[in-house]
Amino acid sequence: MKHKIIFLLVCIIPLLSTGCLRTYYPALNHTNSTPIFFETSDTTQESSNYYAADVTIAKGSYEGENVQLLKGSYTIVNTKKHSNFNSRLFGYAGNYKVVGLNKFDGTKSVFGLGADFSMNLNFKIHRLKFGLGITAGLTSEFGEYYLFRKNADEEGLIHQTQSLVFISLSLFPVVAYQITDSSILSAQINLGLPGFLSPTLLLNSGDYIYSFSFIPYFGGDDNIQIGRLVFGIGMNLNLF
């Protein structure tokens, strides 16, 4: 009975909005919202500059589809006792495999450029910080996957919701703990776009940042598979 209800919801909701057509979003929405970086010290007067790269492996929107993305970013970080600010430029490339649309089936290239800004306000109790934040940005995505969304939408085969340039916006709670004077561990969950739901664990240690995120996918046989896996590494450019 529960499976029938879920099936009806999956069918009825798209029918009300798009005539039961498939809906395709920009490939960026299949990865995480970029987590906010914390400096290990909140007393310095200088900003830190980081170069970071992350890899996303994720399931696509429909059965048999998948996404792979490689993203690089340059981030300016300014951490204070009760606030944290990140300004970021980024680019990404990868592919999206489309399945089940006949002539549009196949692997499509994806490229994108964008910028975003993150900030959070927090309370600090000894070595522990917790607070709320927001990330907002603007992205342009192009390549074969964009052309597929555009052309298939014009032919009435799918519904696409965003154009060549689109806005991203997410809210997040965050907790950060100062492990040592040179290491800080943080966790956050972004709600919004990209990613819809983006839980991330991040470690800043010795001028390097390591990030990890995993969302499981439960198949029909109840086996746990990779729904979305994102891992990344960043380096403090102030070292040079």
Q: Mean pLDDT, 10 residues at a time, over the chain (240 residues)?
A: 38 47 94 92 78 97 96 95 94 97 95 97 91 97 95 90 88 95 94 95 94 87 84 89
Give residue 153's region: left, alpha or beta (phi > 0; psi -120 to 50).
alpha
What is the structure's pLDDT at 19? 55
What is the structure's pLDDT at 7? 35
What is the structure's pLDDT at 220? 65
What is the structure's pLDDT at 222? 67
Between CA 25 and CA 86 the distance in angstroms is 26
The alpha carbons of the chain give a radius of gyration, in whole angstroms, of 19
What is the structure's pLDDT at 15? 39
Q: Which domain holds residue 9?
A: 2-239
Model's pTM, two decimal places?
A: 0.86
pLDDT digits (tens, 9 = 90+) for 165-187: 999 999 999 999 999 988 999 99
Residue partners of 14: CB distance under 8 A and separation at least 6: 20, 21, 22, 23
DSSP label of 43 = S
Tokens of residue 75, six digits = 């981030």
Residue partners of 166: CB distance under 8 A and separation at least 6: 26, 138, 139, 141
Per the structure, the count of domains in the chain is: 1
What is the structure's pLDDT at 46? 66
What is the structure's pLDDT at 45? 63
What is the structure's pLDDT at 193? 94
CATH number at residue 217: 2.40.128
What is the structure's pLDDT at 227? 93
